[in-house]
Amino acid sequence: MKKDHAHLGLVCNIGDLAALLTGSENIENFLQRTVEMIAGHMDADVCSIYLYDDPSRELILTATIGLNPEAIGKIRMKIGEGLVGLTLEKLEPTKEAFADRNPKFKYFAEARADRFKSFLSVPILRGVRKALDDMEF
């Protein structure tokens, strides 16, 4: 594998994920360790996971490295709101060299993300896709 693409193999290593899962005492710990692993492999300053909450119909910041950890559980977005909500709405990656220039960008002071400019968001689906197809946006 070329050096330029070596990090891609590391991010997708099932052994790493299996070790995270077996070494985690709960889902929150697993998700936090996952963002730490991905950030390390991608050499990223920030990595976060937002989970969709059915009852509130919101994406909730659930794990992060690089953002203010006190924002976990406090930052919430509806589908289509902000760049993260846009990613879920489109069900495709969103990438921006200068995130704050995108009209969908939403600033959250509690995240303390002012120093970060670029942005990449990737939807990760689990379960039956039909559930998302049935959602009203």
Q: What is the CATH number of the domain that holds 95?
A: 3.30.450.40
Q: What is the model's pLDDT at position 12?
A: 53
What is d(CA 108, CA 71) in angstroms, rounded to the nearest whole number?
9
pLDDT in tens, 4-33: 555 455 455 667 777 777 777 888 988 998
Strand residues in the chain grouped as ranges (E): 47-53, 58-65, 76-78, 94-96, 119-121
What is d(CA 107, CA 47) in angstroms, rounded to the nearest whole number?
16
Note down the domain range covering 16.
1-44
What is d(CA 126, CA 93) in angstroms, rounded to the nearest whole number?
16
What is the token pair recorded at 125? 């689906």
pLDDT in tens, 50-102: 999 999 999 999 999 999 999 999 999 999 999 999 999 999 999 999 999 99
Q: Are residues 71 and 123 in the same domain?
A: yes
Query: How many domains does the chain divide into?
Result: 2
What is the reported pTM?
Answer: 0.80
Q: Is the pLDDT of residue 132 over 80?
A: no
Q: Are residues 89 and 134 in the same domain?
A: yes
Q: Are residues 23 and 9 in the same domain?
A: yes
Query: What are the residues facing 63 on neighbouring strands?
Result: 49
Distance of CA 132 to the CA centre of its chain: 18
C-alpha separations of 137 from 42, 55, 86 in Å: 32, 15, 11
- Label residue 1 by pLDDT band (50, 70, 90): very low
Please, are residues 118 and 96 in contact by the beta-carbon 8 Å criterion?
A: yes
Q: Are residues 72 and 55 in the same domain?
A: yes
